[in-house]
Amino acid sequence: MSTIKLHRVFKAPPKKIYKAFLDGDAQAKWLPPNGFTCKVHHLDAKVGGTYKMSFTNFSSGKSHSFGGKYLELVSNEHIRYSDQFDDPNLPGEMITTVTIKQVSCGSDVTIVQEGVPDVIPPEMCYLGWQDSLAQLTKLVEPEIPD
């Protein structure tokens, strides 16, 4: 098992980052790495609430589904949730902790993902997160008037 640690600063307020992690439509837009689509089957963003989604490889059509539970939620500051793949070849439970801190230019965000299955090389996990966080930037940084 490996642990992935990421850090980014976004030119967006904490409330937009927090919302992007807990809104199913937002997650479907930013979370899947490049080359994948995402379907959110359900998402109940409250402590003890669960979610289920699947990523589909756009080229091959092959899908993998996963889900988990929201363990801790502190509005606009902290999200902690579990993740488990439905595929028995990807065993175990991952725990992801997102810490959001307001800074002068927006938000300082730290993500720690623990318990990544050994079959997933850490460098591939980092590559996927890099894609996702670039897409998150494009979602949360624009200020579009109503």
HSE (CB half, 13 Å, CA atoms) of 61? 0
Q: What is the pLDDT of residue 89?
A: 84
Q: Looking at the predicted structure, is the pLDDT value of residue 2 above 90?
A: yes
Does residue 119 contact residue 89 with C-beta atoms inside 8 Å? Answer: yes
Q: What is the pLDDT of residue 60?
A: 97
Q: What is the pLDDT of residue 141?
A: 97
Q: Name the CA radius of gyration of the chain, rounded.
A: 15
Q: What is the pLDDT of residue 90?
A: 85
Percent of the residues in the chain that have a pLDDT greater than 90, as a whole number: 90
Q: Looking at the predicted structure, is the pLDDT value of residue 140 above 90?
A: yes
pLDDT digit string, tens, across residues 89-128: 888 899 999 999 999 999 999 999 999 988 889 999 999 9
Q: What is the DSSP string of 18-30?
A: HHHHH-HHHHHHH
Average pLDDT over residues 23-45: 96
